[in-house]
């Protein structure tokens, strides 16, 4: 391939409750449009049927905006990358059907992308002041659906070293927030209140899980029983202690993550550490990871804030890497709700 050639990739992401489209050119972002679905907040979590309906409404204007903001014509596109899975089937079907139709109409290649690879490989988007990881590195992948420690030996050579046996860490944040009466998604709100609270005010029991695996369901139950007991004694307990409760919950969750990360570094001898996924937006996780550079001599990779939660730029960058590899798919490729990080 001609090295000076400009390669334009359109990425489409619709795995959960964000409809997003992005155009990147040779690894640089030209646009990254995200339509978030507010409708789920009042139900305390994502309602799959409502999510797919909202994707149907959003997909055309979001893609149009992404192409417009990139200041290109759709005929300039070289390929279309879309999230094949994992995610909610109804949501995935909207993005994948749209991507297929557009690739047929424009007669350009179709590139399916694993959403979790997208979160990890977002570190390879060309952005100012962000150094790309070198191989091998470990990635703590933390989102509303996943909690994994992944060893990345090359772009598409990934091995899961440990993962959650029950709830994902994002669910731990969101379910704890729900117990406290905070709206969905509660993770960012816990983060916000925690900044004003005392992390040592309350103590929650950390789970004992072997190897590099995680568990968060016991912690959630522990928090529920603690709050129920305290509210019985004082109906205003949550209101009077919200910041301290959030700080204590967040401290416990962050400690659980870092205990395993330290063990992973010890077991693998790899001390190049990245974080990825929606929960990597958490300020304490970001600060604590940065601090390990001085504390333990780790090299750390913290994604730009806009690439932490779901976005199509991360899908487009994977599309670009696959395009360079001539790694396309046939039109009969189907979306799939379940997909392991090392599957395509
Ligand atoms: O990656 P993502 O956007 O969607 C999934 O693929 O799941 O992650 C969403 C998750 C939610 O659970 C949300 O509460 C959490 O990321 N989250 C946070 C923060 N920002 C988003 N959790 C803790 N602190 C934050 N600042
Ligand atoms: Zn995600």
The whole-number pLDDT of residue 130 equals: 84
State if residue 284 touches ligand 1 by the CB under 6 angstroms criterion.
Answer: no
CA of 274 to the centre of ligand 1 (A): 16
The whole-number pLDDT of residue 1 equals: 54
Q: Residue 46 is part of which domain span?
A: 8-124+307-324
Mutation test residue for ligand 1: of 91, 169, 187, the one with most atoms within 8 Å of CB: 187
10-residue mean pLDDT profile of the chain (344 residues): values are 81 95 97 90 84 95 98 98 97 98 97 97 93 97 95 97 98 97 95 98 96 97 98 98 98 98 98 97 98 98 95 98 94 93 91
The whole-number pLDDT of residue 3 equals: 56
320 and 263 belong to one structural domain:
no
Domain count, the chain: 2
State if residue 173 touches ligand 1 by the CB under 6 angstroms criterion.
Answer: yes
The whole-number pLDDT of residue 225 equals: 98
CATH no. for residue 243? 3.30.420.40
The whole-number pLDDT of residue 2 equals: 54
143 and 291 belong to one structural domain:
yes
143 and 285 belong to one structural domain:
yes
State if residue 207 touches ligand 1 by the CB under 6 angstroms criterion.
Answer: no
Evaluate whether 311 touches 31 at the Cβ level (below 8 Å): no
68 CB burial (10 A radius; 0-12, 13-18, 19+):
middle
Whether residue 68 lies inside any domain: the answer is yes
The whole-number pLDDT of residue 128 equals: 87
Task: Please report which ligand is nearest the Cα atom of 280.
Answer: 1
Whether residue 341 lies inside any domain: the answer is no
| Protein residues near ligand 2, an ion, with CB under 5 A | 143, 310
The whole-number pLDDT of residue 40 equals: 83
State if residue 45 touches ligand 1 by the CB under 6 angstroms criterion.
Answer: no
109 and 234 belong to one structural domain:
no
Extract long-range pairs of 43-49: CB within 8 Å, 24+ residues apart. Answer: 43/184, 44/178, 44/183, 44/184, 45/174, 45/178, 45/184, 46/16, 46/17, 46/88, 46/184, 48/88, 48/89, 48/90, 48/91, 49/90
User: Can you give the pTM of this predicted structure?
Assistant: 0.95
State if residue 292 touches ligand 1 by the CB under 6 angstroms criterion.
Answer: no
CA of 142 to the centre of ligand 2 (A): 8
160 and 269 belong to one structural domain:
yes
């Amino acid at each position: 391939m001609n090295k000076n050639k400009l390669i334009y990739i359109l990425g489409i992401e619709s795995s959960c409750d964000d409809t997003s489209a992005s155009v990147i050119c040779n690894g640089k972002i030209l646009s990254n449009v995200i339509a978030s679905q507010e409708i789920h907040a009042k139900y305390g979590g994502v309602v799959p049927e409502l999510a797919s309906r909202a994707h149907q409404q959003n997909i055309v204007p979001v893609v149009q905006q992404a192409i417009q903001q990139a200041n290109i014509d759709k005929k300039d596109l070289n390929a279309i990358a879309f999230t094949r899975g994992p995610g909610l089937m109804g949501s995935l079907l909207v993005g994948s059907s749209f991507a297929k139709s557009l690739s047929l109409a424009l007669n350009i290649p179709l590139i399916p992308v694993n959403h979790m690879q997208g979160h990890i490989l977002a570190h390879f988007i060309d952005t100012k002041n962000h150094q790309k990881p070198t191989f091998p590195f470990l990635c703590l992948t933390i989102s509303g659906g996943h909690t994994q420690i992944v060893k990345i030996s090359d772009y598409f050579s990934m091995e899961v070293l440990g993962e959650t046996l029950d709830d994902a860490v994002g669910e731990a944040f969101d379910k704890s927030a729900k117990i406290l009466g905070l709206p969905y998604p509660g993770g960012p709100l816990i983060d916000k209140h925690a900044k004003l609270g005392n992390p040592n005010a309350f103590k929650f029991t950390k789970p004992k899980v072997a190897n590099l695996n995680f568990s968060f369901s016991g912690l959630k139950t522990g928090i529920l029983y603690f709050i129920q007991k305290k509210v019985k004694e004082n109906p205003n307990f949550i209101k009077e202690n919200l910041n301290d409760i959030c700080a204590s919950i967040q401290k416990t969750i962050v400690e659980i993550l870092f205990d395993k990360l330290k063990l992973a570094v010890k077991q693998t001898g790899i001390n190049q550490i990245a974080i990825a996924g929606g929960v990597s937006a958490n300020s304490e996780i970001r600060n604590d990871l940065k601090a390990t550079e001085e504390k333990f001599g780790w090299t750390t990779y913290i994604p730009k804030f806009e690439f932490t939660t779901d976005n199509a730029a991360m899908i487009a960058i994977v599309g670009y890497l696959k395009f360079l590899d001539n790694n396309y798919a046939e039109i009969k490729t189907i979306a799939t709700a379940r997909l392991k990080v090392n599957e395509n």
